[in-house]
């Protein structure tokens, strides 16, 4: 099971699609365009933040369980990022610290099931791929894909949110140790628009998969 991680606009969904096709497997996507709570959250984060985070948690657990059914399936966001995302919302007063603490306890209790035993309900990934993009690249991609509720010109407070999100992701990936990991430079490798860059990304991932199989 391969999971992708990265900030908003990093290209996770596109890479999940490309990678699943490359590996002859299946992609499992984060619920965004069909998410009934997400637009409400952007309109009123304090009211809907806790509900949204629990909605995402439930969907991610479903994806993890479904992705274990066959070989080399790809999930377009890691469950391990959820606490980072919600704690940031609390620190920026887009949720309460009490809600963040309750969510952290809930996530911790659920993640106690995550292990490599044969009887585990869910398991840790075999590989986490982090697509690292700069703050400027993230803003450009958010603007390009055009979801109105994500736009800084619609909500100027999102500028600080996105900037801090970028900073925290760098620290999060450096500390992540739940599985093998691989960083992709999303600024230098525009795998969405450039087929040559996509080939480079595939090669990096193929080499990592081969390395992990050898070590196993």
206 is in an annotated binding site: no
Determine the average pLDDT of the residues in 6-30. 91
Q: Catalytic site residue 34?
A: no
pLDDT at residue 216 greater than cutoff 70: no
Q: What pLDDT score was predicted for residue 70?
A: 64
pLDDT for the residue 214: 41
Question: Does residue 106 or residue 131 have the better pLDDT?
Answer: 131
For residue 59, say whether it is annotated as part of any ligand binding site.
no
Write down the catalytic residue from 33, 34, 66, 76.
76
Q: Is the pLDDT of residue 117 over 60?
A: no
42 is in an annotated binding site: yes
Domain ranges of the chain: 2-215
7 labelled binding-site residue: yes
Q: Is 10 annotated among the ligand-binding residues? A: yes
pLDDT band at residue 72, thresholds of 50, 70 and 90?
A: confident
This prediction has a pTM of 0.86
What would the 3-class secondary structure string for the chain be? Answer: CEEEECCCCCCHHHHHHHHHHHHCCCEECCCCCCCCCHHHHHHCHHHHHHHHHHHHHHHHHHHHHHHCCCCCCEECCCHHHHHHHHHHHHHCCCCCHHHHHHHHHHHHHHHCCECCCCCCCECCCCEEEEEECCHHHHHHHHHHHCCHHHCCCCCCHHHHHHHHHHHHHHHHHHHCCCCCEEEEECCCCCCCCCHHHHHHHHHHHHHHHHHHHHHC
Tell me the pLDDT of the chain averaged across its residues.
Answer: 87
pLDDT at position 21: 94
Report whether 163 belongs to an annotated binding site.
no
> Is 6 labelled as part of a ligand binding site?
yes
Task: Tell the CATH superfamily of the 2-215 domain.
Answer: P-loop containing nucleotide triphosphate hydrolases (3.40.50.300)
pLDDT band at 122 (very low <50, low <70, confident <90, very high): low
């Amino acid at each position: 099971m391969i999971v992708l991680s990265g900030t908003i606009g990093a290209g996770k969904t596109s890479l999940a699609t490309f990678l699943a096709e490359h590996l002859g497997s299946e992609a499992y996507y984060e619920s965004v365009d069909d998410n009934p709570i997400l637009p409400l959250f952007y309109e009123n984060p304090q009211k809907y933040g806790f509900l949204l985070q629990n909605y995402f948690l439930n969907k991610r657990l479903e994806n993890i369980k479904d992705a274990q059914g066959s070989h080399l399936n790809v999930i377009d966001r890691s469950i391990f990022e959820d606490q980072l995302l919600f704690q940031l919302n609390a620190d920026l007063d887009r949720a309460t610290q009490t809600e963040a603490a309750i969510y952290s306890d809930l996530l911790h209790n659920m993640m106690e099931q995550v292990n490599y035993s044969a009887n585990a309900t869910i398991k840790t990934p075999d590989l986490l791929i982090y697509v690292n993009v700069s703050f400027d690249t993230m803003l450009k991609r958010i603007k390009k894909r055009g979801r109105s509720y994500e736009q800084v010109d619609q909500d100027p407070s999102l500028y600080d949110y996105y900037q801090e999100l970028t900073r925290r992701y760098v620290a999060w990936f450096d500390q992540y140790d739940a599985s093998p990991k691989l960083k992709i430079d999303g600024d230098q490798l525009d795998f969405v628009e450039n087929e040559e860059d996509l080939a480079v990304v595939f090669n990096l991932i193929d080499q990592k998969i081969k390395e992990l199989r050898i070590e196993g």
